[in-house]
Every structure is written in structure tokens, then in C-alpha cells.
């Protein structure tokens, strides 16, 4: 068994949980697929996966008190990684098919449909990561696997200078959208690292390397 960081993978019904588990284990984590409060709060890292509709993910999270658990971890400076819709729900709201759903409001902003000729955005794409990104260290030029029609198309959270400015990585499909965020203990990717081959494993290793 790995002696790497202990990671709780939040089991609220997301369809990509087992592929995320395998990828995290390949990256060197000890993974528990769980909704146990103590396991979630005490793990070195928490991963929030997500596929499908924003509203369905929020419903699943609500059923296991996911929002409260995520909030508790972040308030204590404990690492959380959101993946795909697990990233989207960190914003204030998601709008899909005229359904406006409240998110977890960790970040200001709205997740809505991309303006692109072809949707969903499905396949491999490059990203524009800042030079000081920990997630993309050593893999700045790699491609990652996306499958989504919705995204945050702007970023408005800035600090007062007393804390580090969020690190925002962008990609483009029809228009620019937020591909990843590193904001203190909260990180997230719009793409699927667990489906992104060696580059995705490298990114997960980078994230695991940031855990206390």
C-alpha cells in the first residue's frame, strides 16, 4: 500500500469516482472513497469529482452535507480539489437550460454555456497557466482532456494584497474560459486529470505535493 498522502474522495454519486480513485492512487495517494465526516475532515486532501449537470451535482452534495464538509475544510486551511463539475459548483451559480442553481459560493461568478460552434467541448486542449502555478509545474505545455459545455468565462475574485492572489489558468473553445484555479487551499480543474494520461497524473502528483 502507498505511504503517500491520505486523500478522501467524496462519494456523493458522481459517475467518474472510480477513474478518479485509480488516477490518484497512480499518483501516489492513499485513497478512501467516503462520505464519513471524520475521514473527510481529517484527510490530507479532499477531492470533489463531478460529471453531468450542475443542479444534479449540487443535489448529490447536499444529500451528504458536502457543502458543509468542504466549507469546514477550507476554513481550516485544509486542501480541496474540485474536478469538472466539482470545480463549477465552487462558483456562486450555475445556469443550464434556463435552470439557475445556487452553487457553493466559494468564488464569485456564474457558470453558463460556452459560446462555441461545437458543443460539448470534448477532447484534448492546451491551457495557459501562469509561471507560478504549482499544479502545472513541469507540464505547462501539455494537453488535458475536457468534456463540458459549461464553464466560468470570467474571473473576478482578487485579494486585498494581504493574501496571495488566486492563480487562474485559462483555455479556449470558442472563447476563453477558466480551466483551473489555485486559491489557497482550494484548487480545481475544469478538465479531467484522471482522463488526461501522464499529464493528468503529473498534475495530481503536483497537487499531492502541496498537501501538509
In the prediction, which pLDDT does 2 show? 54
Q: What is the mean pLDDT of residues 95-121?
A: 97
Q: Do the Cβ atoms of 40 and 34 come closer than 8 Å?
A: yes
Q: What is the pLDDT of residues 45-103, one digit of tens each?
A: 999 999 999 999 999 999 999 999 999 999 999 999 999 999 999 999 999 999 999 99
Comparing C-alpha atoms, which of 21, 5, 8 is closest to residue 193? 21
DSSP class of residue 136?
Answer: T
Q: Do the Cβ atoms of 104 and 140 come closer than 8 Å?
A: no
Helix (H, G, I), strand (E, B) or coil at 141: coil
Q: What is the pLDDT of residues 8-54, one digit of tens each?
A: 999 999 888 999 999 999 999 999 999 999 999 999 999 999 999 99
Q: What one-character-per-residue DSSP string does 84-121 give?
A: THHHHTTEEEEEETTEEEE---SEEEEEEE---SSSSE
In the prediction, which pLDDT does 1 show? 46
- pLDDT band at 165; cut points 50, 70, 90: very high
In the prediction, which pLDDT does 161 show? 74
So which residues are the catalytic ones?
Answer: 84, 192, 194
**pTM across the whole model:** 0.96
Burial of 71 (0-12, 13-18, 19+ CB in 10 A): middle
Q: What is the pLDDT of residues 184-209, one digit of tens each?
A: 999 999 999 999 999 999 999 999 99
Ordered by where they begin, the domains of the chain are: 6-209 (3.40.50.880)
Is the pLDDT reported for residue 159 higher than 90? no
Is the pLDDT reported for residue 162 higher than 80? no
Amino acid at each position: 500500500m502507498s505511504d503517500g498522502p491520505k486523500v478522501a474522495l467524496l462519494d456523493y454519486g458522481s459517475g467518474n469516482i472510480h477513474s478518479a480513485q485509480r488516477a490518484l492512487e497512480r499518483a501516489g495517494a492513499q485513497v478512501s472513497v467516503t462520505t464519513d465526516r471524520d475521514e473527510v475532515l481529517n484527510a490530507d486532501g479532499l477531492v470533489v469529482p463531478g460529471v453531468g449537470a450542475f443542479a444534479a451535482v449540487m443535489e448529490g452534495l447536499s444529500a451528504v452535507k458536502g457543502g458543509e464538509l468542504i466549507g469546514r475544510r477550507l476554513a481550516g486551511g485544509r486542501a480541496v480539489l474540485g474536478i469538472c463539475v466539482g470545480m463549477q459548483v465552487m462558483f456562486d451559480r450555475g445556469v443550464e437550460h434556463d435552470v439557475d442553481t445556487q452553487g457553493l459560493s466559494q468564488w464569485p461568478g456564474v457558470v453558463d454555456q460556452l459560446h462555441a460552434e461545437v458543443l460539448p467541448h470534448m477532447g484534448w486542449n492546451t491551457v495557459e497557466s501562469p509561471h507560478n502555478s504549482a499544479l502545472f509545474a513541469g507540464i505547462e505545455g501539455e494537453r488535458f482532456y475536457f468534456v463540458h459545455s459549461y464553464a466560468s468565462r470570467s474571473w473576478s475574485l482578487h485579494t486585498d494584497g494581504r493574501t496571495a492572489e488566486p492563480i487562474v489558468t485559462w483555455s479556449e473553445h470558442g472563447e476563453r474560459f477558466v480551466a483551473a484555479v489555485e486559491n489557497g487551499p482550494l484548487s480545481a480543474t475544469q478538465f479531467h486529470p484522471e482522463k488526461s494520461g501522464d499529464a493528468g497524473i503529473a498534475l495530481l502528483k503536483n497537487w499531492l505535493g502541496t498537501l501538509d
